[in-house]
Structure formats: C-alpha cells, structure tokens
Amino acid sequence: MTHIPMKWAEREDRLYLTLQVTAARDVRVDFEAKKITVSGTGLTAQTAEPREIRSELPLLKEIAPAESTYKVLGVAIQICAIKKEAGYWNQVVDLPARQTKTWLSVDWNLWKDENDAPEEDRGAGFGGYGDMSSMLGGGQGGMDFASMMQNMPPGGGDSDDEDEDYPVDGEADEDEDVPKESTPEDKADDLKVNA
C-alpha cells in the first residue's frame, strides 16, 4: 500500500496529523482504537492528476474514536485524534522507522514538548491547528508590525548627519572649483583659443 505523505505532532491528550493532499474530495476518515483509515480522491506530491487515495495508519497506542475529528482543507486533510490515555507517545505509528521515513515526518510548526506551557484555547479540538495564518508568520507569536514601526525614525530613513558633507543640488561652495556644464558658446570659445 502506498502511504499518503503526512506530518504529525502531539500534545499530552491528542495527536495532530496533516495529510498532504490537495483538492481532496469524497474524503472518509475512519477512527478505530488503534488505527486511522483515510480514503478519497486528491493530489499528492507523487501525482499530477487526482487519483484515489487510501492510507491505513496503525497507531502505537489507543485513541478515543468517538471524540476524534478531521477537517478537509484545500491544501491538506487535518486530523485531531484524542488519546484514550493522556501521555506522550514520542512515536505515532506502530511501525519501524525504516518503513515510515519516506512518508511520515514531524510537524515542527505544531510540535510542543512535554514541558512546554499548556494550551489555553483549543477551539473545536484543533487548538489553532486549522488557522493557516501560523504558516505565514502571523497568528499567536507572529510579528507585531505596529510596535516595530514605533521604533522607526519618521520617513523610514536614518539620521541625515551623513548628508552634511555633500552640497544640495544646485548649491556649491564658492571656494570649490566645480566644473560647469559647457554651453555651445563655451565650446566655440574653446575652438577659437585652440586655433
């Protein structure tokens, strides 16, 4: 069986799986105590045309099938599987790593270690998982451009102390020998002198 490319992360009480399938249709996700089965049609990195997808994921430990959920987005299928017993698994599937290295990887954008602060808002069981802005640098922990701009000098430039050494257009110190643009009369005078 060909596996769908996917990423995973975990919390003490749940697993997050992101199946990398675009334009997914007719998706069905079946949750069993130690297995998740996904089927439907869609595009993966290996396919140029939509095709049937099917993947069975033998889990390391048990989940609560009735509480587990999924979402189908335009760019992925997201699964939130609730663990039957709280605790960190440190591995999602009951397969040797050599069998999973081509299709399963860690989702470092969602990963939290056991000693990280607990989540405050889990919103519908996905805890910000469906908020795609986190992938674009926004969302919680994103950049606050308003506070950054307060520290910028007006006009977006730096100090103009460097400009003191250079004359402004059209102005020149009278002591300096600044060449003028030559006019046709000047060129005629030069020809008379050289003749």
Look at residue 20 and tell me if it is in a domain. Answer: yes
pTM of the model: 0.59
Q: Total structural domains in the chain?
A: 1
pLDDT score at 167: 57
pLDDT, average across residues 66-89 = 95
DSSP letter assigned to residue 4:
P
Q: Specify if 13 maps to a domain.
A: yes
Domain that holds residue 28: 6-94+102-107+119-136
Asked if the structure places residue 158 within a domain, the reply is: no
Token pair for 12: 């003490």
187 within some domain: no
DSSP states of 11-58:
-SSEEEEEE--EEEEEEEEEEETTEEEEEEEEE-TT-SS-EEEEEEEE
Q: pLDDT digit string (tens) for 16-48? A: 999 999 999 999 999 999 999 999 999 988 788
Token output for 15: 């697993």
What is the maximum span of the chain, computed from C-alpha positions, in angstroms? 105
Residue 123: predicted pLDDT:
46
**Which of 79-83, 113-117, 124-128 bottoms out in mean pLDDT, i.e. has the lowest?**
124-128
